[in-house]
Amino acid sequence: MKTFKLQAWHFGLMLIILSIVTNIMGTWAVNSIPGNVEDSRFVELNDKTFDEAIHTGSGFVLFYKENSELCDKMEYNLNRLPVDDREKINYYKVNIAEFAALEAEYRISGVPSILIFKEGKERERILGVIPESNLKIIYNRVTK
């Protein structure tokens, strides 16, 4: 009876298959989220209103680009977070194409980026599209 031995090319093939499956599943997960945001709770900020807004309680600030599907999906996920009456969480967004100074000041390396502020201090930073379940965990941690 002949025994099967793993060779180096087997590992290469498994790595390629794993990469393809991961890419397909990730794309499917992102595309399953609706891209259009109808009733958004986000308030658009500019360079003049930004400082006042982040010093007022706690807030999520979404840095985005216009017509970015990923940014729309992230805004959709953030809009699905619960509304907590005990602690008022504000939701803001900043278009980095219009306000490059804010992008540079807060070292935004890509979009979508979310900065979470509490009383003017940055508490957390999120880069990319995050599933709603993970956002709820972050939300609960921030509101404690």
The mean pLDDT value for 51-66 works out to: 90
Alpha carbon separation from 101 to 29, 91, 125 (Å, rounded): 33, 20, 18
The helix-helix angle for 132-143 and 69-79 (nearest 10°) equals: 50
Alpha helix (H) residue ranges in the chain: 8-31, 50-54, 69-79, 100-105, 132-143
Architecture of domain 43-143 in this structure = 3-Layer(aba) Sandwich (3.40)
Asked if the bond preceding 34 is cis, omega within 30° of 0, the reply is no
The string of pLDDT tens digits covering residues 1-41 is 788 888 889 999 999 999 999 988 877 766 665 555 567 88
The string of pLDDT tens digits covering residues 92-122 is 999 999 998 888 898 999 999 999 998 889 9
